[in-house]
Chain A
Amino acid sequence: MCDQWKEEFEYAVQVARAAGAVIRKAGECEIKVQTKSCAVDLVTQTDDRVEKIIIGSLKEQFGEGTHCFIGEESVSKGKPCVFTDKPTWIIDPVDGTTNFVHGFPFVAVSIAFAVNKKLEFGVVYSCIEDKMYKARKGHGAFCDDEQIQVSDVKDINKSIIISEHGTDRSPEKVSKIFSTMQKILRIPVHGLRGSGTAATNMCLVACGASEAFFEIGIHCWDIAAGVVIVREAGGILLDVDGGEFDLMSRRMVSANNKTIADRIIKEIEIFEVVRDDAEI
């Protein structure tokens, strides 16, 4: 089994934990909120600060120039989101910024690493819960020290499905999102849930608490780490149209198995989103 990126993996876990501690501390003080693409797309100084800490720390450890970085806040400030074959870190410093602002208990640091555009490992630190989810390709998925596995439910009527409303409030998109959710609820499924963070939602699929999580509108940094965790826990990733999963497409279905994934995909009303790697 390949141990090539073990050092990077272990360092990522350390960095995620340290970043989580910064987030927890920041959550004790008043949080100043700014907005990005719209009134409900929130960002704080903690998001910026934590991303700088993570990237700075990784550059120091692995040398500047040898590795590339795709970070949510760097991209939102204009850095192109370019995914090459080079070793690339894909970072969401605070996944669940809205939750963070409100003290809602799901906030995650998400760090993934890809080489030749293939995801090698992922770390999601749910820092309020103090749960470290991690997975390295070929080595299984873990929550802290316990190995985790997706649910074995094949009957859609016995499933919990996760999705989110996202931050786009444009009427046509909201209509499609709601229509999809309503159809899925009425299959019927056991329930619909959402933690407010894509990274955490994927970990909930990986540990078997939910059978599937799908969303249109997420970004590569929200899900890259979760992709490895779900796969290593025995789950699968697909595009919302049933085709191959594409990390930069901003669309994703993650599920415990193909039966559940296919059944969900039948109900999804697809809408257009601009790819993460589209030219600015």
Chain B
Amino acid sequence: MADLWQDAMDHAVNAARSAGEVVQEALQEDRTVMTKSSSVDLVTQTDLKVEKLIIQSVKEKFPTHRFIGEESVAAGEACVLTDSPTWIIDPIDGTTNFVHAFPFVAVSIGFAVNKQMEFGVVYSCLEDKMYTARRGKGAFCNGEPLQVSGQEDIQQAIIATEFGSNRDPEVVEKIFSSLRSILCIPVHGVRGAGTAAINMCLVASGCVEAYYEIGIHVWDVAAGSLMVSEAGGVLMDVEGGAVDLMSRRIVAANSKAVAQRVVAEIDSFSPCRDDAPLPL
């Protein structure tokens, strides 16, 4: 049976790879840095350029499709997920890493129809690792199938998380409190690649048992969420309920047991949702 979205997925992989080349080239030059919501929420011309390139190339081939792109939303476009086929794009996940040439930088392209993820592509361009997942057909890295770790004992786990870009003292306090609780379970260790998309691929690959974060955006995790579920993992809200990609909160884990154990230690808070109406 022909896969209705195979063309779109192939296009996403090509677009991600081309975008990765743009990123690699840009790394050879000076990267002028601008800021968005705070002095540590960075964006560069390359983020903007790559997002335009991806959206343009998709519009040419799929003129009726819709878009949620990080930089478009930052420029004022609404962040609304309808039933229409929608591309959810983070042109450079790990902009801080990119600015520093720290080795984890990803292009993340998710595709949803009827608000359900159909495929996800994460291209870790400095490692040249192309992660792909198609609903019902598994997750892969450079063609090799991915599977989450079989480790369900939290005391034998590595957990991934990030500090994010919010430096508000109360938020930082909660982030550190959760981190400390988890570290002292004890777990084997806590890690972070500096990009949500790659952190989710690390869960899908079995390198870490779980990743959690409060403060990410839908474009950071849309593709990765399918990667994790297609590799046999689970997704959950930080308070244990169903995951909500617009909520800016996520737990991705190899198993319900590990997810629930992590959730038990998270000092949660609720950032402004991605789909909240814009202030008038």
Contact = CB atoms under 8 A, between A and B. Distances in A.
A55 interface: no
Nearest to A38: B186
Interface stretch (A18-26, A188-196, A272-280): A188-196
Contacts of B191: 104, 194-196
Contacts of A157: 39
A40 interface: yes
The binding surface of chain B is classed by DSSP as mixed
Interface string B80-109: 000000000000000011011111000000
Interface residues on B, range: 35 or more
Nearest to A41: B188
Contacts of A40: 186-189
Given A103-B207, A169-B183, A174-B183, A190 B100 contact: yes
Given A103-B206, A160-B102, A192-B163, A165 B96 contact: no
A209 B186 CA distance: 30
Given A103-B205, A104-B207, A178-B179, A208 B172 contact: no
Nearest to A209: B102
A62 to B, nearest CB: 35
B163 A191 contact: yes
A34 interface: no
Nearest to B101: A209
B100 A102 contact: no
B4 to A, nearest CB: 35
Contacts of B176: 178, 181-182
A209 B100 contact: yes
A174 B163 contact: no
A116 B270 CA distance: 58
A185 interface: yes
B155 A165 contact: no
A185 B99 contact: no
B167 A186 contact: yes
A165 B207 CA distance: 18
Interface in A89-112: 98-99, 101-105
A33 B188 CA distance: 12
Contacts of A182: 172-173, 176
A121 to B, nearest CB: 24
Nearest to B165: A191
B194 interface: yes
B184 A196 contact: no
A185 B183 contact: no
A86 B111 CA distance: 63
Contacts of B184: 169, 171, 174
A151 B186 contact: no
A67 B154 CA distance: 44
Interface in B136-183: 149, 155-156, 158, 163, 167, 169, 172-173, 176, 179-180, 183
Given A103-B205, A185-B167, 16 more contacts: A40-B187, A102-B206, A103-B206, A103-B207, A104-B158, A104-B191, A151-B100, A158-B33, A160-B97, A169-B184, A182-B173, A182-B176, A193-B102, A193-B192, A194-B191, A196-B191
Interface of B: 33, 39-40, 42, 96-97, 99-103, 149, 155-156, 158, 163, 167, 169, 172-173, 176, 179-180, 183-184, 186-192, 194, 202, 205-208
23 contacts: A33-B156, A40-B187, A98-B189, A102-B149, A103-B206, A103-B207, A160-B96, A165-B189, A165-B190, A169-B186, A171-B184, A174-B183, A182-B176, A185-B163, A188-B39, A190-B96, A191-B97, A193-B102, A193-B192, A194-B191, A194-B192, A209-B103, A210-B100
Interface of A: 33, 39-40, 42, 98-99, 101-105, 151, 157-158, 160, 165, 169, 171, 174, 178, 181-182, 185-186, 188-196, 204, 207-210
